[in-house]
């Protein structure tokens, strides 16, 4: 898989994920970029301006975002307030996502 950092595209129906992203909409950053994945040998053109990330670069991106704006998870019990994820939990979440896309 190729991991992509991309912007949404304007369309007559509103903003949408680019057609060259097979599975997208993950982890929006403050610069309005999202993460998505596409096949390793796509039969279509991916613009050269789109960042292609390795699994390690994706993990580094998410840890940096988490440091600036902590990611949250549900509390331990139903009705509990959300709690901040640890850096280790963020890393594990990203590694699990990458594994699920392989």
Domain residues for the domain of 15 are: 2-101
- Convert the pLDDT of each residue in 63-98 to its tens digit: 999 999 999 999 888 888 999 999 999 999 999 999
- Contacts of residues 52-56 at CB distance under 8 Å and 24 or more positions apart, as own/partner, are 52/2, 52/3, 52/4, 53/3, 53/4, 53/5, 54/3, 55/3, 55/94, 55/95, 55/98
The tally of domains found in the chain comes to 1
- Convert the pLDDT of each residue in 9-34 to its tens digit: 999 999 999 999 999 999 999 999 99
Q: What is the pTM of this model?
A: 0.87
């Amino acid at each position: 898989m190729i991991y992509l950092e991309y912007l949404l595209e304007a369309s007559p129906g509103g903003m949408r994920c680019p057609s060259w992203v097979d599975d997208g909409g993950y982890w929006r950053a403050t610069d309005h970029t999202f993460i998505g994945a596409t096949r390793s040998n796509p039969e279509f053109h991916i613009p050269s301006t789109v960042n292609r990330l390795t699994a390690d670069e994706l993990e580094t991106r998410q840890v940096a975002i988490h440091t600036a704006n902590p990611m949250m998870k549900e509390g331990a019990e139903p009705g509990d307030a959300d709690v901040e994820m640890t850096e280790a939990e963020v890393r594990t979440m990203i590694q699990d996502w990458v594994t699920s896309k392989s």
